[in-house]
Amino acid sequence: MKKGLKIAIGGDHAGFEYKQAIIDFLSGQEVKDFGSFSADSCDYPDFAHPVALAVESGEFDFGILICGSGNGVAITANKHQGIRAAICWNEELADRARSHNNANILCLPARHISLEEAKKIVDIFFTVDFEGGRHANRVDKIAC
């Protein structure tokens, strides 16, 4: 995993336990926790929008969002221009999200992967570089 990254992280109640463990896993990085701050029921957009704004503004290099399926946080984050939030449930998808799609927010489905798998996915997401080339042309066509 690359060092010196600025990472914004957030998630709802379903992602709370994984979020806390991933923050510990990311020791050595600059990480800001945008909540939630407990496992009490809450609404994922309340955390996905601030993380997306932090990445969109350039204040943070990347983001991580975690909810039960990964879908809610991805849908919310992808409403922001300049955000490419990718749901990843295995290591290959994390690699492609970065290398082919230049994803800048990793969305994890806490109810569908183990914590150990989540950590492997995070490690790959923050190791792999965007390949550019033919993929850059495609990524450039995403914004509306």
The answer to whether the beta carbons of residues 42 and 14 sit under 8 Å apart is no
The answer to whether the beta carbons of residues 67 and 109 sit under 8 Å apart is yes
112 carries an active-site annotation: no
49, 67, 80, 88: which is the annotated catalytic residue? 67
As to burial, measured by CB atoms within 10 angstroms (0-12 exposed, 13-18 middle, 19+ buried), residue 141 is: exposed
3-state helix, strand, coil in the chain (%, to 5): 40, 15, 40
What value does the CA radius of gyration of the chain take, rounded to a whole number of Å?
14
13, 42, 100, 135: which is the annotated catalytic residue? 100
Q: Tokens 């965007």, residue? A: 130
100 carries an active-site annotation: yes
Q: Active-site positions?
A: 67, 100
